[in-house]
Structure 1
Amino acid sequence: MPKRKCSFNVSLQAKYPFIKQINTPSDVRCEKCRTEFSVAHSGGGDIEQHLKSDKHKNADRAAASSSTMLNFFKKSDAPTLKDLDIAAAEGVWAYHTVQENHSFRSNDCASKLIQSCFDPKFTCARTKSEAIVVNVLTPTAMKELKDDLDKCNCITILNDASNHGNKKIYPIVVRFFQPYVGVQVKILDLQDQPGETSDIIVNYLSQVLTDNNLTAKVVAFCGDNANVNFGGAARRGTNNVLTKLQSSLKKELIGIGCGAHVIHNAVKSAADGLPVDYESVIVKIYSFFYIYTIRVEALKEFCAETETEYQQMLGYSKTRWLALMPALERVLKMYQPLKNYFLSIEKCPQLLKIFFEDPTSELWFYFLHAQSASFHQAVLKLEGQTVSAIEAAKEINQLKDNLIQKQTNQFLPFMVRQLILKLKDSGTNIDEEFVKRTATEFYKTSREYLEQWTSFLTKEMEIFYWADLKKVPTWEDIQKSLDLLIEKQYIDCNKDTEVFDEFSLISNYITSQKITEWNNLNVSTETRWVEIFKHFRANNLQHENFCIVIEYILCLPATNAPVERVFSIMNKLWTSEKTQLQISVLKAMLIIKVNIKKTCQEFHSYLKSSPDILKKICSSDKYKYN
């Protein structure tokens, strides 16, 4: 039998209050010397052994000989107007530091520079700017978010994980619709977790929802299409996040996979059946020229001979939704110079030699480029921060219908047909029927992939299609949505008459002429509803119940892209040079960047009109970290 590990229990916490549990029940951190260690071997004995270490003893001696930092700061309950002006400048400077991805360390120099050039009283070096961000601006942003969430009726939570070194970071993003503002997408929480199992994710999500009193308001869970989230395309089994979260919350949720990810995978899956391995060719060409100046200069000479403008090669990644079409396009623009160059060099990579010697290679690249354009445009439409699930479902259905038409008609793009004629004229043996069969199989495979992975989305969203206001909605359409919301207890069953009365008023505003005007201006769905609700509020017309219907529909996202954007921002903030950045500080910085939608000038004006925030910036309490 393996030895049972000890854990950090309540009695040890009481005896050693400066020891805190982290990650697992056996992992702890000493708050005095900031050392992390394990108590798995002997529990309290491990702690006693740590107390005897030189590092801990030095920390004790340093604490005994030092005064608290707060003693060095002025204690004043009534800051002057000058103090408040300086506080506004310091607050916006800390905000600017985060928004421009600067390090807090850079403010050591910047603070002194501002002192010497503008105001001698300005002091906002690394410690102060970090304290303002973590303990003043972030709590303010979170309070505003919680106030907004208290007022809303329906939300969707979005989640994903990203590795940074040995840390696995989990942001929880919340999406909701405000009738007079529009769709809001903000960070609710961010933590590191010890793993990526469904139990870990569900426990984390449930705890955050409970802490924020959102369990009754959550409508849907959105994540990427990994099996751990939904149990695969068929969504079978119980060992996945969606099923366990529904069990934990004791309510049915809508499971929304990432539409952009599915579309990308559909074209990638279908392209695997083409005679050309496009991925290997693109990556090989890109890596061949990536850091080799001599090779690039030689290629430029071949470009000059063919009167082709040189353009830098583009890389390709399987995980980047929008990388395929531009990479293909770049190779096609440079095809003749690339072909001449690679076939002229002595040690040409075998993969590229075979590719450029095959007369049909260019044909298949043109075919894939033409098809990837349709998928590329679909992803562009879906990845927007405020695009709704109903818009995603419609776009995916249109893409599937387009593929059915291409499959039925054995469609070949113009450039492919031209190249077939060119090859025939040059005496090359080209099997046109094989090209048509392969193209037809491409359309079939990509369509079947879309149907397999989006059937849940398109079926569940069908009754909400009217809400995009592309045409005048009917009561028959709305009643189906209303019945669902009554069944799920978001609207009282006794209020259906009130909803009809509100619909009658709204239908007077949503005329065919209004719909045409919106369509011509390409007005987004959320903007159309915000305009309606603002008009009703201005004229004191009842619309409260109808707001709930629209809140439910528009809180449903099209993709998991908002979480991916958080990771993108995180990578810009948490660079390899910022190795000492703590998760709590990273969380604060991300909340400010994502949740506060103000320019630095706007934020300065906001601070000037917020004396409570300025007083917190002036106070020494901002240095009291939890």
Structure 2
Amino acid sequence: MAAFGKRGLDARGTESATISLAPAKKTKGFCSSGKALEQNYKWVRSVTNADALAKCVFCKITFPIKGAEEKALKRHQMSERHQQSLQLQEQNSFIPECAQTHSPSRQSFKVTAAEVTSVYHGMKHNHSRMSLDCDSRLAQVMSSDLAIATKVRCGAKADNIMMNVLAPYSEELFLQDLGSSYFSISSDASNKGNKKMFPLVLQYFHRSDGIQQKLLDIYEDHNESAESVVTKIKDILLQKGLQLQQVSSYSADNASFTYWKHHSISKHLQTEMPHIIPVNNLCHVLHNCGKDANKTLAKYDVEMLVLKLHSEFSSSNEDVAHLKDVLAFLDQDWKEILHNVFTRWLTLLPTVSRLVECWPAIKSYFISQGPEECHPLIWKFVEDEEDGFSEHNISEAECYIHLHYILPIFHESLMKLESSTITAPELYAVMQGVRGELQNRLDDQYFGAKVASALRLLPQHVGQQVSQDFTAFYSRAISYLQSWFDFNSSPLKSMQVFSLQETVTWDKLCTATEALNLKDVDMDALYSDYLALRTALPILLNMTEASVADRWVNFFSNAEDCSTLYRVVQFVLSIPATNSYVEQVFSLMATSWTNQRDEMVLPLIKAELQVKLNFNLSCEQFHAFVKDNQKFLEVAKSSDKYPFKHKYV
């Protein structure tokens, strides 16, 4: 009886079986020249019990070689599949040697032990998986020399390197890059325990690198008065060698002591620097606008409904299970009930949208519970006996749930404001767009298709009340916007010419420059630069996918001089569109300065954040950047980085 031999893969990678007509017995594999072939082709292995086959350890396939061993090996070596497998092996393997045997070598065990230990190390010290992957790649770059690897120690000296070498170096680099350019100041206040922390962020525009945002300082001050903040800002700027005349703008949140009061921070700064442009946080303006307008819809408070529903289903697995049964009966998938963020009112949009999706099931669930087991606010929305929304009939309460047809007006503009590429020249158009959309809906009395359908079917007095509430919503929102954003005389209005969204005329450019109140602008030189801009404008206008900053970088990279126009654009693009970068600083501070790291001091957390935010290099790029920087390495190697060395000098 024929016996089937070991199953393998043919030259095309498909599974095949070799048939032996005699009982299987162990053979040496290759013929007498096989050992020499293995030495010349380190990726080839013999196949036990099959003299006519060879195996490639990279491609993981067997192929015939009988009668033309070397020719067959060369043909496979030149194949596309082998070349791809070889390239993949070189990229992913920790072992530089391509010769691996069927049985694991001692070196492969060491590699595996190193991998397992790295994962354990990351778990012990709360490192992310991306951090572990970066460690492994960086180790190959930095520790290729065994003598270096055995001498590297970063224990007690790590904090001193961070505070006295890396952080000051990050400051030095961006201050050199900044030079005499215009820059804006962004700040805010946040509590860390019983401490009041103030970060100070600069933004400026660079001819070739575009908009740059850097963390200049973080300081602690228990005094949050406008006078104290202004004094501290001036002291820090002068300490860093920066001039007050370079400041283009001040940005913070919408606290009353920041703007609008006679003794606010912005008023104090404008007294010392009349040319600066205060920019409040327009994201907060939109959030607060929606929240304020929602007061007109108090009869059916959708925001409170969302909070009560989330509380109901987040605290009881039994209630969730019952709701899932109702959803299954209605042939709907389970989706978690969301809630909004209290300080960001427009996060209500995804929450209400989810509520509308699940409303038929939610309504059926609470109707089955009855008024005795249901919170009065929830029962107010579901007491109508009709089961869920229908195409032609929704209740009065359900009209207010359709608030989510109005929220996108704010939400779409908010997404534009929160974009990482938005610039000051684009702000006016965004705010004008919100106001225009609200005004159009108010004029047309349009409240969404579902509400319009319901108004025709509801009793007349009920429909009139709903219409009055939504009309009041639009009117109050428009009034709020106009009180917190100057649509008539804001400098942002004339700045629109710098957005490069439409043809730039000399009159618009001249008007915008005069509105900026800049001194020493040579208008004749500016006109010459304008002519160069007008020539390049068709190309810039066609860069529809590029940001405003990238368009200006493109222009100045190809313009011969245009120094006067560059100075004006530098001022405009240094103005921050939002205060999001400062909020990012607070977020990073919260993740770095945890309760588990409560012994950290402010200078150390400041240094960590400066290094993290001011350097835009990967770890490997940073190593390449500093390894040949002799001056920097001398400072890092010197004992001057240890502050205690200077105590007794």
Shift of the 196–290 alpha-carbon distance from structure 1 to 2, 3 Å rule, reads: farther
Deviation at 1:507, TM superposition (A): 1.0
Deviation at 1:546, TM superposition (A): 0.6
Shift of the 146–271 alpha-carbon distance from structure 1 to 2, 3 Å rule, reads: same
Residue 381 (structure 1) aligned with residue 416 (structure 2):
yes
Q: Match for residue 284 of structure 2?
A: 261
Give, in whole Å, the separation in 1 of the partners of 2:227 and 2:368: 57
- The C-alpha deviation readout for 1:205-226, integer Å capped at 9, x for no partner, is 1211222323111121111111
Q: Match for residue 348 of structure 1?
A: 374
Give, in whole Å, the separation in 2 of the partners of 1:101 and 1:268: 39
Residue 581 (structure 1) aligned with residue 600 (structure 2):
yes
- Of residues 500, 503, 510, the one that matches 2:537 is 510
Q: Match for residue 532 of structure 1?
A: 555
Shift of the 265–210 alpha-carbon distance from structure 1 to 2, 3 Å rule, reads: same
Residue 403 (structure 1) aligned with residue 403 (structure 2):
no
Q: Match for residue 607 of structure 1?
A: 626
Query: Aligned letter for 2:518?
Result: K
Gaps of at least 5 residues in structure 1 are 1-92
Number of residue pairs matched?
Answer: 499
Contact 1:197 1:228 in 2 (8 A): yes
What is the DSSP-based 3-state SS (H/G/I as helix, E as strand, rest coil) of the residue aligned with 1:323?
helix
Q: Match for residue 4 of structure 1?
A: none
Deviation at 1:586, TM superposition (A): 1.0
Shift of the 577–459 alpha-carbon distance from structure 1 to 2, 3 Å rule, reads: same
Q: Match for residue 149 of structure 1?
A: 178
Q: Match for residue 181 of structure 1?
A: 209
- Of residues 331, 347, 354, the one that matches 2:355 is 331
Deviation at 1:602, TM superposition (A): 2.5
Q: Which moved more, 1:602-611 or 1:502-511?
A: 602-611
Q: Match for residue 393 of structure 1?
A: 428
Which structure 2 residues correspond to residues 365-376 of structure 1 after superposition, within 5 A? Answer: 365-366=401-402, 368-376=403-411
Deviation at 1:270, TM superposition (A): 0.9
Give, in whole Å, the separation in 2 of the partners of 1:609 and 1:364: 66
Shift of the 458–365 alpha-carbon distance from structure 1 to 2, 3 Å rule, reads: farther
Contact 1:174 1:186 in 2 (8 A): yes
- Of residues 549, 555, 561, the one that matches 2:568 is 549
Shift of the 116–561 alpha-carbon distance from structure 1 to 2, 3 Å rule, reads: closer
Q: Match for residue 610 of structure 2?
A: 591
Deviation at 1:151, TM superposition (A): 3.9
Deviation at 1:251, TM superposition (A): 3.0
Give, in whole Å, the separation in 1 of the partners of 2:438 and 2:193: 42
Give, in whole Å, the separation in 2 of the partners of 1:196 and 1:305: 57
Which structure 2 residues correspond to residues 302-341 of structure 1 after superposition, within 5 A? Answer: 302-320=326-344, 322-341=346-365
Q: Match for residue 415 of structure 1?
A: 450
- The C-alpha deviation readout for 1:291-315, integer Å capped at 9, x for no partner, is 4333322222222122222112222
What is the DSSP-based 3-state SS (H/G/I as helix, E as strand, rest coil) of the residue aligned with 1:264?
helix
Contact 2:396 2:466 in 1 (8 A): no
Shift of the 619–419 alpha-carbon distance from structure 1 to 2, 3 Å rule, reads: farther
Give, in whole Å, the separation in 2 of the partners of 1:150 and 1:321: 41
Contact 1:388 1:554 in 2 (8 A): yes
Q: Match for residue 397 of structure 2?
A: 361
Shift of the 575–292 alpha-carbon distance from structure 1 to 2, 3 Å rule, reads: farther
Give, in whole Å, the separation in 2 of the partners of 1:609 and 1:406: 63
Give, in whole Å, the separation in 2 of the partners of 1:412 and 1:563: 37
Shift of the 334–206 alpha-carbon distance from structure 1 to 2, 3 Å rule, reads: same
Contact 1:258 1:559 in 2 (8 A): yes
Deviation at 1:327, TM superposition (A): 1.4
Residue 214 (structure 1) aligned with residue 249 (structure 2):
no
Contact 1:227 1:240 in 2 (8 A): yes
Shift of the 420–481 alpha-carbon distance from structure 1 to 2, 3 Å rule, reads: closer
Query: Aligned letter for 2:569?
Result: I
Give, in whole Å, the separation in 2 of the partners of 1:101 and 1:612: 34
Give, in whole Å, the separation in 2 of the partners of 1:614 and 1:145: 19
Deviation at 1:563, TM superposition (A): 1.2
Residue 271 (structure 1) aligned with residue 271 (structure 2):
no
With a CA cutoff of 8 Å and minimum separation of 6, indicate the structure with the bigger relative contact order.
1
What is the DSSP-based 3-state SS (H/G/I as helix, E as strand, rest coil) of the residue aligned with 1:142?
helix
Contact 1:184 1:386 in 2 (8 A): no
Contact 1:182 1:527 in 2 (8 A): yes
Contact 1:171 1:563 in 2 (8 A): yes
Query: Aligned letter for 1:355?
Result: F
Q: Match for residue 300 of structure 1?
A: 324
Shift of the 360–611 alpha-carbon distance from structure 1 to 2, 3 Å rule, reads: farther
Shift of the 442–147 alpha-carbon distance from structure 1 to 2, 3 Å rule, reads: same
Q: Match for residue 280 of structure 1?
A: 304
What is the DSSP-based 3-state SS (H/G/I as helix, E as strand, rest coil) of the residue aligned with 2:551?
helix
Give, in whole Å, the separation in 1 of the partners of 2:488 and 2:303: 29
What percentage of residue pairs aligned between the two structures are identical?
Answer: 28
What is the DSSP-based 3-state SS (H/G/I as helix, E as strand, rest coil) of the residue aligned with 1:229?
coil
Contact 2:487 2:493 in 1 (8 A): no
Shift of the 456–403 alpha-carbon distance from structure 1 to 2, 3 Å rule, reads: closer
Shift of the 552–306 alpha-carbon distance from structure 1 to 2, 3 Å rule, reads: same
Q: Match for residue 227 of structure 2?
A: 199
Give, in whole Å, the separation in 2 of the partners of 1:387 and 1:444: 28
Q: Match for residue 61 of structure 2?
A: none
- Of residues 161, 171, 191, the one that matches 1:163 is 191
Contact 2:323 2:361 in 1 (8 A): yes
Contact 1:155 1:555 in 2 (8 A): yes
What is the DSSP-based 3-state SS (H/G/I as helix, E as strand, rest coil) of the residue aligned with 2:575?
coil
- The C-alpha deviation readout for 1:499-543, integer Å capped at 9, x for no partner, is 1111111211112x641x223x3x21111100100111xxxx121
Give, in whole Å, the separation in 2 of the partners of 1:241 and 1:459: 19
Q: Match for residue 572 of structure 1?
A: 591
Shift of the 620–300 alpha-carbon distance from structure 1 to 2, 3 Å rule, reads: farther
Shift of the 241–328 alpha-carbon distance from structure 1 to 2, 3 Å rule, reads: same
Task: Report the TM-score, using the length of structure 1 for normalisation.
Answer: 0.74
Residue 121 (structure 1) aligned with residue 151 (structure 2):
yes
- The C-alpha deviation readout for 1:160-206, integer Å capped at 9, x for no partner, is 10111101110011111112111111111101111322122112112
Query: Aligned letter for 1:245?
Result: L
Residue 135 (structure 1) aligned with residue 164 (structure 2):
yes
What is the DSSP-based 3-state SS (H/G/I as helix, E as strand, rest coil) of the residue aligned with 1:255?
strand
Q: Match for residue 113 of structure 2?
A: none
Contact 2:494 2:515 in 1 (8 A): no
Deviation at 1:439, TM superposition (A): 1.9
Contact 1:339 1:356 in 2 (8 A): yes
Give, in whole Å, the separation in 2 of the partners of 1:142 and 1:457: 39
Contact 1:101 1:573 in 2 (8 A): no
Give, in whole Å, the separation in 2 of the partners of 1:242 and 1:457: 20
Which structure 2 residues correspond to residues 474-513 of structure 1 after superposition, within 5 A? Answer: 474-485=505-516, 487-489=517-519, 491-492=520-521, 495-511=522-538
Give, in whole Å, the separation in 2 of the partners of 1:459 and 1:365: 36
Give, in whole Å, the separation in 2 of the partners of 1:386 and 1:185: 12
What is the DSSP-based 3-state SS (H/G/I as helix, E as strand, rest coil) of the residue aligned with 1:187?
strand
Give, in whole Å, the separation in 1 of the partners of 2:226 and 2:215: 21
Query: Aligned letter for 1:380?
Result: M
Contact 2:211 2:574 in 1 (8 A): yes
Shift of the 278–576 alpha-carbon distance from structure 1 to 2, 3 Å rule, reads: farther
Query: Aligned letter for 1:351?
Result: L
Give, in whole Å, the separation in 2 of the partners of 1:529 and 1:187: 24
Query: Aligned letter for 2:505?
Result: T
Q: Match for residue 99 of structure 2?
A: none
Q: What do you get for the CA RMSD once the two structures are aligned?
A: 2.9
Shift of the 403–265 alpha-carbon distance from structure 1 to 2, 3 Å rule, reads: same
Give, in whole Å, the separation in 2 of the partners of 1:323 and 1:576: 28
- The C-alpha deviation readout for 1:582-616, integer Å capped at 9, x for no partner, is 11111111112222222223323323343433343
Give, in whole Å, the separation in 2 of the partners of 1:622 and 1:101: 28
Query: Aligned letter for 1:507?
Result: R
